[in-house]
Amino acid sequence: MSELTFEQMLEESFKTIRNGEVVDGTVIDVKPDEIILNIGYKADGIISRSEYTNESNVDLTKVVSVGDSMTAKVLKVNDGEGQVLLTYKRLAAEKGNERLREAYENHEVLKAPVAQILGGGLSVVIEEARVFIPASLVSDTYEKDLNKYQDQEIEFVISEFNPRRNRVIGDRRQLLVAERAKKQSELFARIQIGDRMEGTVKNVTDFGAFVDLGGVDGLLHISEMSWGRVENPKKVFKVGETLEVMIKDIHDTKIALSLKFPESNPWANAEEKYAVGTVIDGRVARMTDFGAFVELAPGVDALLHVSQISRAHVDKPSDVLSVGQEITAKIVDLNVAEKKISLSMKVLESAADEAPVQTISDSEDE
């Protein structure tokens, strides 16, 4: 039996390794873009920056130190220069995928910061394993701009897990829907018609405003925004504005809101404020062919019929009046039940005409 040379004995003292094998090593040198490991093999192991992390600009000297122990996976036993190429991030991703598989099977809620904004959604990383959250599953409402989620920590569940096809899908929407349903149930259990609540304006449309009451939206219709007349809700309310609102009606999961509080009802004590015979000032709010509607107070309009505008014949109210004009008239009819008031300018004009006029001959007789 021939004796082994020193070089042969030295080579046999090192373990053998194969591609795909997981090895343990000790860091013997660190450069900004490379880690060198002693893995107990005849050649050192090399982990490049791109095989350590998905962060392209990280300085490896800031995250790894000489003497650290590391576990990595063999990519290539000989890179052509006698070195062993290793990967740290792929091994971590495999462990991360196992973590995601467990979360998928157990319907576990995960939490992670958004790592990247993509064209069709968000990308998050769990233990070096990537999860894609499509834009349609990011929120329970349409999100036009996803950039606000950059670096934001979000919660989600894994709705699809197929790492072989590179399909690991996250879903944030179903958590928000479930949370909204819970809040909705809690809110409906405690509110009643007539209750007053504080809410935040969420959206304003031509017909009203949607107000967030704490996870549940209520509709403040344009007709309930004021005792007076509101022409354009967008000129009255702004998104984010805080309002005190009153629950006007509850129908299944829909809530109707109002700002017409009883104590501010302009028709309260109308019999006294708008008694027949009272002379009152008002502003012409709008006109029709048959008359002009005069605002006496916000929410209180009175009709000045065309026949009551003047003793002289008037074809159309717009011939002698204009919107916004201040007028003085007398209340000639009041129907509180139907919230109707009739005015007359003619009777005041008649009264002035009927006042005694001192003539020159009268003064001479004195």
- Other Cβ atoms less than 10 A from the Cβ of 58: the count is 14
The CB density around residue 287, as the number of other CB atoms within 10 Å, is: 18
Question: How far apart are the C-alpha atoms of 247 and 255, rounded to whole Å?
Answer: 7
User: Cα separation of 116 and 99, whole Å?
Assistant: 21
| 181 secondary structure, DSSP code | H
Domains of the chain listed by start with CATH number: 14-87 (2.40.50.140), 93-176 (2.40.50.140), 191-263 (2.40.50.140), 270-353 (2.40.50.140)
pLDDT for position 65: 94
Q: Residue 104: how many CB atoms within 10 A of its CB? A: 18
* Helix (H), strand (E) at residue 331: strand 326-335
pLDDT of residue 356: 46
What was the pLDDT predicted at 143? 85
Half-sphere exposure of residue 73, counting CA atoms within 13 Å on the CB side?
Answer: 13
How far apart, in whole angstroms, are the C-alpha atoms of residue 225 and residue 242?
14
Pinpoint the alpha helices (H) of the chain.
6-13, 89-106, 173-190, 270-273, 346-354, 360-365
Find the distance separating the first CA and the last CA of the chain, reported in whole Å: 166
Q: What pTM does this model have?
A: 0.56
What is the mean pLDDT for each group of 10 consecutive residues in the chain (366 residues)?
52 68 92 92 90 85 93 82 85 86 94 90 88 94 88 94 87 93 88 94 94 91 89 92 95 91 88 93 93 92 94 92 94 92 89 44 39
pLDDT at position 5 is 60
CA distance 309 to 290: 11
List all residues 6 or more positions away from 247 whose beta carbon is below 8 Å from its beta carbon.
Answer: 191, 192, 193, 194, 195, 196, 197, 218, 255, 256, 257
